[in-house]
Structure 1
Amino acid sequence: MSTVVFTDASGVERTATAQAGDSIMQTAKRNGIPGITAECGGSLSCATCHVYVDERSQDAFEPMEELEDEMLWGTSEDREDNSRLSCQLPADAAETLYITTPATQV
């Protein structure tokens, strides 16, 4: 089991325990974490699960693939160097992961 610490745009932290094989998006949805809409349910077609990966967790994930990179140009909040789609991030990539959700997804 791994732990994901979600920080929202106002600085409020919420901690969730991830199930084996889940993505960050699935962990957020399963635990009622606000800030991740995930309209497409994780099929990499909407960019409403945009998150910012904290520098403490940057090395835990594989580099993004081309389609994720393209989808990130369609987010409602500005794309940053640490932007990722949470449906593409395995929640068990490290014992503890630190993720920030944007102020809005739609």
Structure 2
Amino acid sequence: MPRVVFVRPDGTKQEADASDGASVMQAATANLVPGIVAECGGELSCATCHVFVDEQWLGALPARSEDEEEMLEATSEEPTDASRLCCQITLDASLDGIVVHIPKTQK
């Protein structure tokens, strides 16, 4: 069961367990993580699940799709190389312990 560590803008950490195959967004919404609104429910059409993936985990993720790149242009905070829409990160054992930071504009 993969574990996700969400870091809020104030540095507070919240851990959430998820099933293999679930997205980071699903882990966030199931555990009421503040700042992950997920208005579209993971359909890649709202950018309200923007996170900054911790640098140590960036290499473990597949590249962003063209659609994700396009949606990142609509985030509430300026995207960086570490920006991802967490609905597009599918969890498995290789991502156990992944750390993502919630943008301060999504409190």
Give the TM-score taking structure 2 as reference length: 0.93
- Partner AA of 1:23 in structure 2: S
* Cα deviation digits, residues 24-43 of structure 1 (max 9, x gap): 00000001111100000000
Q: Secondary structure at the match of 1:52?
A: strand
What is the RMSD computed on CA atoms of the aligned residues?
1.3
C-alpha displacement of 1:12: 0.5
Give 1:19-34 correspondences, 5 Å limit: 19-34=19-34
Ranges of 4+ aligned residues in structure 1 off by more than 6 Å: none
Give the distance between the partners of 2:100 and 2:91, measured in 1 at CA.
Answer: 11
User: Which SS does the other structure have where 1:6 is aligned?
Assistant: strand
Match of 1:99 in 2: 100
Q: Percent identity?
A: 48
> In 1, distance between residues paired with 2:29 and 2:67?
22
Partner of residue 59, structure 2: 59
User: What's the offset of the Cα at 1:91?
Assistant: 2.2
Contact preservation (8 Å) 1:91, 1:97: no
* 1:1-106 superposed matches below 5 A: 1-92=1-92, 93-105=94-106
Name stretches of at least 5 consecutive residues in structure 1 with no aligned partner.
none
Q: Deviations over 1:29-76 (max 9, x none)?
A: 001111100000000000000000001211221000101001000001
CA apart distance, 1:95: 1.9
TM score, norm. by length of structure 1: 0.94
* Structure 2: tracts of 5 or more residues without a match: none
